[in-house]
Structure 1
């Protein structure tokens, strides 16, 4: 085995990004609280608490925009799956603060006017500027939040889910206009006004830059087209993408793009597919297994078809390595980023490829050739997940330790379906593999 020295960064990129986001949020909470106190507003306790909840809600709304802006610096360090998870939890916190804001404000004013809360809400909505817009914004956020719950999300296509989330931007606009119209803290001082304009300008500017300007600029620059469509098997196809100056595209092995193939019947569909080969500056390759009507139709794409790609996205890269040697664990179509990583990684690599049946092993011939060329070890694990083995479950702690005795001294990259990924992560915890050495990517997208 060749010894490779790896100088791990003093502070891991993931830690830097996570700590930075927490620090930014905490600092803004302090600023918002200080501006609220300095505004010197007087009212009963319910109204004051309601106003403070509304300000925290506005801050969380801006923070949510930052999490889904797809800024490259954050995405490369944290990954879209982690940012999506944080976005979801911040969204639930936002719902709580905004509902609290509405209930406390209405209850507080109802106490002052001696009207029933419902009558007070109707009066406020029909007589005060911006209140009706705030009510509509809250209803939109409640709808989007309800459709973001897992049981609802799983029943929608990505395009439908994405379209519904566009209403959240309408809610942001309505909420901000409400804050301008009635927010006493917003106009209490030039400093407060400058802060809130700056906060919303930065959040919306980040979304505009990350989700519109940067993708448009990259696609105009690189002019991507399909170079070849190569069947790998009856249900697997590889698509080779070419373009201008691809060596300037900051893509790494392990990352993915949102691909739009600009044909009459597909231009509106955004498909998240990982690179199945390390970028070489001349081509990008993705390999797709027919899991639905959309992916099955890719075989019919023609060379020369224009491609619009958003990305690269994902933190499943060698950037996060901490140890000289590596274990790569892939399940199903999760083999595509793992196959690309195998090309780039240095040091000794062990690959564990989990499939239900041997014939389901996508790109197996390439994996064998690469493993032989790189001096890596390849284990193909097939059969039912409950099949008895001498070492327990196929990807349990004992099986992982048997396949890789020194697994505690390696980085472990895991990519595959949620069930498989969860089983591997549980096994790694039982084996005592340090958390900083475990790098997992689940199949999920930010809205």
Structure 2
């Protein structure tokens, strides 16, 4: 039992480093694998990490109690208070459990992005406290200089990746490109587009479908960053994002003043034209905030006539943000554009059913599909696309969930 506790502790410590490395925003991972895919692995591995950390503590205490003949409660007090640095590891475990609880789906839906983000920063404290514990009482480290060197090197490498890609690179780019707000345009109820300008933006090689993390240097916004996709083709001298009021700090972005400085991270994301097979036509499916990267792709994807078709999902007509722009693009390039209005469980069924998709796009099974929107919509649409004959590997998604 004690041996199982040690193994689970080693696995938890290793996975904790992997979790941080996944969120270090390494460009290769963010732009090749995709930020949403990396985030899914991070979330799934996080559940195992917390479970292994709890198992480590429980198995070690039960094993020690069994050996000494003490009851588990008194053995817990002895281990935590008398063993070197175990009290620190107990605090680390509490922090990990707290982060895991806030990340649970049921809880995550009820907390703001800011709360979720700042609670997650406690992971760094948990790693530091656990590191001291591992060297103090970890049998695999205390007796092996080689293991201590390797384990320290792994922590240093991950730490440098976090500092480099999350602090140094964004700071250098923000200072070099001097991005500023030039205009804020109301697109509809609770929806605004923020137009940005800067120097030599073409050097960043931003692509339609990608997103950046934005920090507006004004009161109430400078201390937090939010991910928003580019909602128009990125130019060398200007970008645009479109933001919907989701009840958090996004509600006040409509009051930004021209001239406001902007710091940013990115561009990130693999939801780009590079995923497309050159020989295939494309179907775009968007809903909610998912229209922002889809709109940029709709403007920039190569093709003519029905080579590109967009299905725009909304419960009501007012949900179809940027629709006039999409109509202009459709008229100019001859692309297909179909608004799908109505509830998913209405009397006529889901507007994105496999039958409806095949009716509007008869050759859907031969197309690449870009799908972006709320989690429920993308899950249901993905299921209908498979029924319509689209292979899973040709459905490219971007998730809008933290």
Aligned to 1:341: 297
Q: 1:376-430, CA deviations, whole angstroms, 9 ceiling, x for partnerless residues?
A: 11111223333445xx531000000111111111100011122221221111111
Q: 1:221-248, CA deviations, whole angstroms, 9 ceiling, x for partnerless residues?
A: 2121012222334543221111121111
Which runs of structure 2 are paired with 1:174-189 in the superposition (5 Å)?
Answer: 174-189=129-144
Q: Distance in 1 between matches of 2:325 and 2:209?
A: 16
Aligned to 1:413: 370
Q: Distance in 1 between matches of 2:67 and 2:345?
A: 65
* Equivalent residue in structure 2 for 1:97, among 46, 52, 58: 52
Q: Distance in 2 between matches of 1:155 and 1:360?
A: 23
Q: Distance in 2 between matches of 1:121 and 1:388?
A: 59
RMSD over equivalenced CA pairs, Å: 1.8
Q: Distance in 1 between matches of 2:291 and 2:53?
A: 43
Q: Distance in 2 between matches of 1:360 and 1:126?
A: 58
* Equivalent residue in structure 2 for 1:354, among 291, 295, 313: 313
SS at match of 1:428: helix
Which runs of structure 2 are paired with 1:171-250 in the superposition (5 Å)?
Answer: 171-250=126-205
For structure 1, the residue ranges without an aligned partner over 5 or more in a row are: 1-45
Q: CA deviation at 1:436?
A: 1.1
Q: Distance in 2 between matches of 1:225 and 1:108?
A: 60
Q: Distance in 2 between matches of 1:233 and 1:152?
A: 30
* Equivalent residue in structure 2 for 1:157, among 112, 123, 130: 112
Aligned to 1:129: 84
Aligned to 1:108: 63
**1:309 and 2:268 correspond:** no
**1:434 and 2:388 correspond:** no
CA contact (8 A) 1:325 1:346 kept: no
Q: 1:270-316, CA deviations, whole angstroms, 9 ceiling, x for partnerless residues?
A: 33221111111111101223343633432221111111222222221
Aligned to 1:404: 361
Displacement over 6 Å in runs of 4+? none
Q: Distance in 2 between matches of 1:114 and 1:216?
A: 57
Q: CA deviation at 1:354?
A: 1.4
Q: 1:335-391, CA deviations, whole angstroms, 9 ceiling, x for partnerless residues?
A: 1111101122113101111122333321112111112222311111223333445xx
Alignment CA distance shift 1:205-1:269 (3 Å): closer
Q: CA deviation at 1:160?
A: 1.0
Q: Distance in 1 between matches of 2:292 and 2:267?
A: 15
Q: Distance in 2 between matches of 1:294 and 1:255?
A: 22
SS at match of 2:386: helix
Instruction: Give the structure-2-normalised TM-score.
Output: 0.93
The range that moved more, 316-325 or 242-251, is 316-325
CA contact (8 A) 1:226 1:303 kept: yes
CA contact (8 A) 2:136 2:142 kept: no
Instruction: Give the structure-1-normalised TM-score.
Output: 0.84
Alignment CA distance shift 1:171-1:364 (3 Å): same
For structure 2, the residue ranges without an aligned partner over 5 or more in a row are: none
Higher relative contact order (CA 8 A, sep 6+): 1
Q: CA deviation at 1:98?
A: 1.5
Q: Distance in 1 between matches of 2:375 and 2:324?
A: 25
Q: 1:210-269, CA deviations, whole angstroms, 9 ceiling, x for partnerless residues?
A: 222222122122121012222334543221111121111132111122222211232234
Alignment CA distance shift 1:357-1:49 (3 Å): closer
SS at match of 2:196: strand
Q: Distance in 1 between matches of 2:245 and 2:94?
A: 39
CA contact (8 A) 1:256 1:314 kept: yes
**1:385 and 2:344 correspond:** yes
Q: 1:117-172, CA deviations, whole angstroms, 9 ceiling, x for partnerless residues?
A: 22222222222211111111111111111121111111111111111111121111
